[in-house]
Structure 1
Amino acid sequence: MPSTPERPRRVVVQDHGPLLVEGPVTIVAEDGTTRTSDRFMVAVCTCRRSRSYPWCDTSHRVHSRARRTAGNPPGADDAAPADGETP
């Protein structure tokens, strides 16, 4: 299902975070099911921890905080805290 936008879609890759895709978007899963969002920017989950997969619900942040409190020093986990967020 090719699209012909007037300009290319912008995809922002974040370290240890979701893919940010300019919307609207349609995502086709491995099993052929589709999910559509008409938002102007969509966060697509890359860690597969999201309860609303394929959309990111920031579950990756909770997982990284839990690892740090289990004895790992900051920076040893797979995600850094967001600006203004305390580890």
Structure 2
Amino acid sequence: MKVQRRGPLLVEGPVEVELEDGTTVSSDRFRVALCTCRRSRRFPWCDTSHRARSSGTDDGPATRE
């Protein structure tokens, strides 16, 4: 696993992710990028939407309440 300050969480695959509603999604790729900014249209997978951030004050992964 690799944590990037202003990017996705890179995880060695294959992976299975349990979402907040209890459903699971999986990927059999050798490496996957998990979204930490919650801007991805393919959440939980990163689609590089974090690159469009206008604010430079991000201190880490976003949380959803």
Q: Is the TM-score greater than 0.5?
A: yes
How far off is 1:78 after superposition? Answer: 4.3
Answer 1 or 2: higher relative contact order, Cα 8 Å, separation at least 6. 2
Out of 17, 34, 41, the residue aligned to residue 31 of structure 2 is 41
Hey, which of these two has a bigger chunk of helix by percent?
1
Is the alpha carbon distance of 1:23 and 1:50 closer, same or farther for their aligned partners in structure 2, counting shifts above 3 Å? same
Identity of aligned residues (%): 64
Unaligned runs of 5+ in 1: 1-10, 68-75, 80-87
Q: Distance in 2 between matches of 1:30 and 1:78?
A: 26
Q: Distance in 2 between matches of 1:59 and 1:13?
A: 17
Q: Which runs of 4+ in 1 moved over 2 A?
A: none
Read off the aligned partner of 2:4 and give its amino acid letter. Answer: Q
How far off is 1:16 after superposition? Answer: 1.1
In structure 2, the partner of 1:28 is 18
1:57 pairs with 2:60:
no
Unaligned runs of 5+ in 2: 59-65
How far off is 1:28 after superposition? Answer: 0.2
Q: Distance in 2 between matches of 1:52 and 1:15?
A: 20
Q: Aligned-residue CA RMSD in angstroms?
A: 1.4
